[in-house]
Structure 1
Amino acid sequence: MYHLIVVACLASSPDICEPRLLPAAVSDTEQNCLMRGPDIANDWFARHVEVAPQGKLNCVATKELPMLEVKEIASDSFVHLGLAEQLSLQNQGRIANLSFVIGEKSVAVIDAGGTRAEGEALLATIRQKTALPISHVILTHMHPDHIFGTEVFIEAGATVVANARLPDALALRAASWKESIPAQIGARAMLGTHLPTIDQKISAPTVIDLGDRRLTLTPIATAHTDNDLTVFDENEHILFSGDLIFQGLTPTIDGSLTGWLDWLKQGAPQPEIALIVPGHGPVQDSWTAAIAPEEHYFTALRDTVSALVGKGIALSRAVPQTVSTLQPQAGAWVDFDATTARNAAAAYSELEWQ
C-alpha cells in the first residue's frame, strides 16, 4: 500500500509544519497514489483552513510510516498502551490506551488517540497488520486523549460510534479545548487535529459484527463522564472499559462519583471476561485486580468528603483536608495531589446535595 503525505504548516505560524497522512488516497501503487493525490490534498486543505500546504506531495509505502507499538493480547486483538501521565508538551497527548480488533470482513478501532498524528500512526500500524477496511471507530467517552485522532479514520471510510450523549458533551467543551489542549501538548502536536463528528449514536446495547467477530457496545449511566461506553469482544471475552477503569494514573471525575462507584460495585458486566483493557494502565486478567485500586480510592474519597460535608466544612478547607487524608494512597497513583484536589471539589459539589 502507498499513502499520501502532505506537509501542512500553521497559517498563523508558518514555521510550525508537520507531515500529514491523508488516507483517502491509499493505493496499491505509488503512481496511482500520486495521480489521486492533488484532488484529495486540495479537498483536505479546504476543510483545514488553519493550515496551508508546503512543498510537493509524496506517496510512501506502509512500512515507511511512523507507527505505534502494539501488543496482540488475544487473536487479532491489539492494544497500544499510553503513557501513565497527564497531558504535557513532552508526551504530546499520547497517554490513552488505544485498541483495534480485526474480523474476517473489517476492523474496529476502539479509541483513536489524542491527536491526528497519533491517529495516523495507529492507522499505519493497522495497515501493517491487515488491508481489511476499517469499518468502525468506537469512542469510549469524550476526553481528548481518546478521540482527537478520529478524523483520520473518518477519512479512511470508518463509521464513528459513540454514546448518544457524547456529541452534546463535545459541543459544550469544543471552544475551551481549542485553546487549552494546544497549550498543554503544543501547537505542533495538534497540527491538523479536528474534533470528530459522530455517525452512530447509541443509547442501548448494540452489536457490531466485523465478520465472525462480534462486539457488544454498552452505554453506561453517568460515571467517569455522562457519555461512557464499554466494548465487549464476544469472541475473545475482552472488555474494553475505557476510562471507567484506571490503572496507575489517578482517575478523574468528570461525571459522578456515586455513579462510578455504583458501576464498580455491580461487578463484572460479563461473567465470562478473560481480559480487561482499561483506559489507562496495563491489561488485566482479573476483574477484581482491575478495579480494586480505583474502588479503594473512590470509597475513601466518598467517605472523607461526606464526613467533611456533614461537619459543615467549607469547600475551600475540605479540598486540602481530603488530599491530606488520602495521602497514604499517593504512592499507587500518578499525579495524585492535583487530581485528587479536583476530584475532592467535584465530590463535594455532588455530595452536599445528597
Structure 2
Amino acid sequence: MASSHITRSLSALCLSAALGLTSAAAGADIAPIDIDMPLHKVSDHVYYVRGVPGIATDNKGFISNAAAIITDDGIAVVDALGSPSLAKRFIDELRKVSDAPIKTVLVTHYHADHIYGLQVFEDLGAKIIAPGGFQDYLDAPAAEERLEERRFSLDPWVNEDTRLVSPDVVITEQTEIGLGDVTLDIRYLGPAHSDGDLAVLVRPDNVLISGDIIFEGRVPFTGSADTGHWLAVLESLDDTGIEALIPGHGPAASEPAAAVSRTLDYLKYTREQMAAAVDEMIPFAEAYEAADWSRFQKLPAFDAAHRRNAYGIYLSLEQEMLGQ
C-alpha cells in the first residue's frame, strides 16, 4: 500500500483526536494502575516505556515495551501494552512531553501483552496498523480464552470491558508513512515470533523498534513461533546506520548489532541442541537435562520460560522432520 494513501487516511481518521479528545476522556472508565512507568527519551523524536522481565502477569502485566514517535504533526505509538490501564498510564506519561494528537498505533504483533491497550487508542480516534497474520491470532479460540484468563489474573486492569481490537490497515510489504518531519519505515517480517511480525525504523533518528523479534537482557519467549524463520529474519536484518534499538522486551540498546546477536545466539543454540536430539530420537526430557544451558541460566525469565521454549522447539523440529 502506498505511503501517500496511508498518510491521507491517517489524517482523515484521526479527526476525532484532533478535535480535542483527551486521554482522560478515553480512560474515564478504566481502572487506575499504580505502577512505575518512566518515559525514556531515546532520540529527538523517539520515547519508550520499559516493562520488567517476567511472566505475563508479573508487575501488574507491565512486562513489555511501548514506544512513541513524537512530532509537531502528531504522535505515532508502537504497541499498546497489556491492559487498557497500562495504555492509559502510557498516554498520561506522553502528555507530560507533548499535547499533539495520537494519530496511529503500529502493532508489531498480536500477542496479549502488546494489544490489550489498543481500545484506549481506538477510542481516541487513532488508526490501528498491524502486520498480516494478526487474524490467525484473533480468529483462534485461544485469543478469547486468553482474554478470559487475564480478566481473572489481571483484574481489575483487564476486565469485562476489555475487548480485542482489529486493525484498520494491514501491512504485508515494506511501507513508508510520513509524519511531521519523520518517516516511519515499516518492515513486514512475516511469521517469526508470532503469526505475523513487523518492525519500524524511524528516520532520520535511525532508531529501530523491533517488537519481539528482539528480547534484550532476558530469555526470549518462543511459544509456538516459527523459530527457523525467526532466525532467518535476524540473520538478514540490516542494522547498518541504526543508532539505537528498542526491543519488545528489555532496555533500549545503543549497540543494535550486539542486541540482535544475543537473541540470535539463544535461538540458534537452542535449536541446535533440540535438532540433535530429534535427529537421534532422544526423548525431550533426556535431551534437555543433557544440554549445557549455562550461558543463559543467569538471564531473567530463564526459569519461567526456557524449558517451555526448548520443548516447543523440540516439537516443531519433530514436525519438520516428519514433513508436517
Q: TM-score range by the shorter chain?
A: 0.7 to 0.9
The answer for the alignment partner of 1:71 in structure 2 is 40
Residue matched to 1:159: 127
CA drift at 1:277? 0.6
Moved more, 227-236 or 167-176: 167-176
Pair 132,261 (structure 1): closer, same or farther in 2 beyond 3 Å: same
| CA offsets 1:288-316 (integer angstroms, 9 cap, x no match) | 21122222221221111111111112xxx
| Shift, 1:123, TM fit | 1.2
Percent identity over paired residues: 27
Cα distance, 1:320 vs structure 2: 5.5
Q: Contact between 1:66 and 1:124, CA under 8 Å: does it hold in 2?
A: no
Give the one of 111, 115, 120 matched to 1:143.
Answer: 111
1 CA distance for matches of 2:19 and 2:191? 40
Q: How many residues align?
A: 298
CA deviation map 1:261-281 (0-9, x unaligned): 11121142x521111111111
Q: Show the counterpart of 1:59.
A: none
Structure 1 ranges of 4+ moved more than 6 A: none
- Work out whether 1:343 is the aligned partner of 2:309: yes
The residue that corresponds to 2:177 in the other structure is 208
User: Is structure 2 residue 82 aligned with structure 1 residue 114?
Assistant: yes
Q: CA deviation at 1:231?
A: 0.4
Q: Who is 1:325 aligned against?
A: 291
Shift of 1:345: 2.2
Q: Which has the higher contact order (CA 8 A, sep 6+)?
A: 2
Q: Which amino acid aligns with 1:290?
A: A
Partner of 1:102, secondary structure, is strand
After TM superposition, the structure 1 stretch with the greater mean CA deviation from structure 2, 342-351 or 228-237, is: 342-351
Check if 1:301 corresponds to 2:270.
yes
1:168-188 CA distance string (max 9 Å, x none): 31221322112222344x221
SS of residue matched to 2:212:
strand
DSSP-derived class of the 1:331 partner: coil
TM-score relative to the length of structure 2? 0.84
1:246 maps to 215
- Aligned counterparts of 1:122 and 1:302: Cα–Cα separation in 2: 36
Q: Secondary structure at the match of 2:307?
A: helix
Bigger-Rg structure (1/2): 1
Pair 1:320–1:119, CA change in 2 (3 A): farther
Q: Which residue does 1:266 correspond to in 2?
A: 236
Q: Provide the rounded CA distance (Å) in 1 between the counterparts of 2:311 and 2:194.
A: 16
Letter in 2 for 1:311: E
Measured after TM superposition, the shift of residue 239 of structure 1 is 0.4
What is the Cα-based RMSD across aligned positions, in Å?
Answer: 2.7
The Cα of 1:324 is off from its aligned counterpart by: 5.1
Q: Is the 8 A contact 2:132 2:196 kept in 1?
A: yes
Deviation string 1:61-115 (CA, Å, 9 cap, x unpaired) is xxxx988311111002101111111122x51110111110012311000111110
Tell me which amino acid in the other structure corresponds to 1:170: L
- 1:218 matched to 2:184? The reply is no
The residue matched to 2:296 in structure 1 has which SS? helix
In 2, Cα distance between equivalents of 1:329 and 1:349? 23
- Structure 2 unaligned spans of 5+: 1-16
SS of residue matched to 1:74: coil
1:178 to 127, 131, 147: 147
DSSP 3-state at the match of 1:114: coil
Q: Do the aligned partners of 2:174 and 2:186 also contact (CA within 8 Å) in 1?
A: yes
Measure, in 2, the Cα distance between the counterparts of 1:274 and 1:73.
Answer: 10
